[in-house]
Amino acid sequence: MSSIPLAQPEIGKREEELVLEVLRSGRLSLGPMGERFERAFAAFLGVEDAVAVSSGTAALHLGVRQLGWGPGDEVVTSPFTFVASSNCLLYEGARPVFVDVDPVTLDIDVAAAAAAVTERTVGLLPIDIFGWPADWPALEALAAKRGLGVLEDACQALGAVDSEGRMVGSRGNFATFAFYANKQMTTGEGGMIVPTDAAAAARLRSERNQGRAVDMGWLDHDRLGFNYRLSDVSAAIGLAQVEKLPRLLEERAAVAGRYAERLAGVPGVEAPMAARGREVRSWFVYVVRLADEVDRDAVILRLRERGIDSKSYLPSIHLFPHIAELGYREGQFPIAEAASAHSLALPFFPQMTEEQVERVCAELAAAVDATRRGSAQG
C-alpha cells in the first residue's frame, strides 16, 4: 500500500516555465523575476508593497530590526509556535516574554498579553498559529494604548481572514510570511515581509542585500546588512504559486472539509474549527486534538506502520533549552503545554484524494481506539 506523506507541494507546468525563463535569462538573482513575484504577492494581499527574502525567519529578523527591538527590550509573544518566532528576538538581544494561549484558537491570549506588559515592554509578536487569525483588533488596541510596536508572524496563515474581515498581514503592521515546501504556497525556501511604508520598504531591501541601497554600486554599503536575498529561481516558483494561490487555498479548504466530515463521529478526536463569525482559517496544517487518555505517540507509531505520516505538532518553545535558560519551565503555560501534548498533525496537501482522507481517518480511528491508555489492546 502506498504511503501518505505529511505534506506535498503542488508544482506544475507554470513553475517549470517560469523557472526556465529565469535560467535562460541569465539573471538568477536580483533580476526582474523577484520584482514580479513581489508585485503579485502584494496584489494578492491587497497591500502596497512586499519584500521577498530568503526565509520566513529572515523576514522576522528584519522585522525585529525595523522595530528597533534590542537588548533590554521585552516583547510579549506566544510559546505555542515555531521556534523562529522567538529566535528572531534572540538574534537582536531582545527578550521573549511568553503568555499562554486562548484554549479555542491557540493564538495569544490578549488579556494575558495585556497583563504581561511592563515598562520594559516594547512590542507584541503574535502568531496566527495553524492559520487561525489572532485577535488583531484587540491586539492593535492594546498596542496603541501601551505604545507598543507590532510584528505579525503570519508565516502559517497566508489567506486567513480576521474578525473584521481583513486578510492577515494586510492591516498595516510589519507582517511576515514563509514559503517552505509545506506551506500554502512555496518557493522551496523563502519568505516575505510586508513593510509599513515606503521608507521601511527601502531599508528592508537594503538590509536583505548586505546593506546596499537600491541605487548604490556593487561594493557600496551604508548600513549593516545580511544576505537574505531570494534567488530569482525561487521567485519564479513563487510567482507561479501566487497565480494559482486562490485555487490552492480552496483545495486545502476542501480537503479540510472532508476531514471534518469524516472525523465528526470518531471518539477521542477533535477536529479543528474552520471559521467563526467573520474569522476564517487558512489551512496550513490539519491538526487534530486527541483526548487526554489517548497515547498520542503510540498513535503516531501505529499510523507509521500503516504507511501514514503524522507528527506531534507542535512543541511549546519555552521548554527548548536555549529559551528555557531565560527562566522558563514546564507548567507555566498549561494551555499551550496541553495543546503540545495532545495535538497531532495529519497528512494534508491540496491534491489529497478522498480515498487518502478516508484511509487516514479509518486508520486514525483504529489507532486511537487501540492506544487509549488502559485499553486491553493498548
- Supply the residues annotated as catalytic: 183
Q: Which one, 155 or 364, has the nearer CB to ligand PLP?
A: 155
Q: Is residue 223 a contact partner of residue 206, using CB atoms and an 8 Å limit? A: yes
Q: Is residue 57 a contact partner of residue 88, using CB atoms and an 8 Å limit? A: yes
Residues forming the site for ligand PLP (CB under 6 A): 55-57, 81-82, 84-85, 127, 153, 155-156, 178, 180, 191
Tell me the C-alpha distance between 308 and 201, whole Å. Answer: 43
Shortest separation between residue 59's beta carbon and ligand PLP, angstroms: 8
Shortest separation between residue 178's beta carbon and ligand PLP, angstroms: 3
Tell me the C-alpha distance between 47 and 54, whole Å. Answer: 20
Tell me the C-alpha distance between 252 and 284, whole Å. Answer: 8
* Single-letter code of the amino acid located at 220: D
Shortest separation between residue 340's beta carbon and ligand PLP, angstroms: 14
DSSP bridge partners of 194: 175
Shortest separation between residue 180's beta carbon and ligand PLP, angstroms: 5
Residue 316 burial (10 A CB sphere; 0-12, 13-18, 19+): buried
Q: Which one, 294 or 333, has the nearer CB to ligand PLP?
A: 333
Residue for cell digits 508585485? 39
Shortest separation between residue 320's beta carbon and ligand PLP, angstroms: 14
Q: Which one, 78 or 206, has the nearer CB to ligand PLP?
A: 78
Shortest separation between residue 55's beta carbon and ligand PLP, angstroms: 3
Tell me the C-alpha distance between 202 and 6, whole Å. Answer: 38
For ligand PLP, the nearest residue by Cβ is 56
CA 353 to chain centre: 24
Q: Which one, 110 or 154, has the nearer CB to ligand PLP?
A: 154
Tell me the C-alpha distance between 76 and 69, whole Å. Answer: 12
CA 151 to chain centre: 13
- What phi and psi values does residue 287 have, to the nearest 5 degrees? -115, 120
Q: Which one, 152 or 295, has the nearer CB to ligand PLP?
A: 152
CA dihedral 61, 36, 201, 188 (to 10 degrees): 0
Q: Which one, 57 or 121, has the nearer CB to ligand PLP?
A: 57
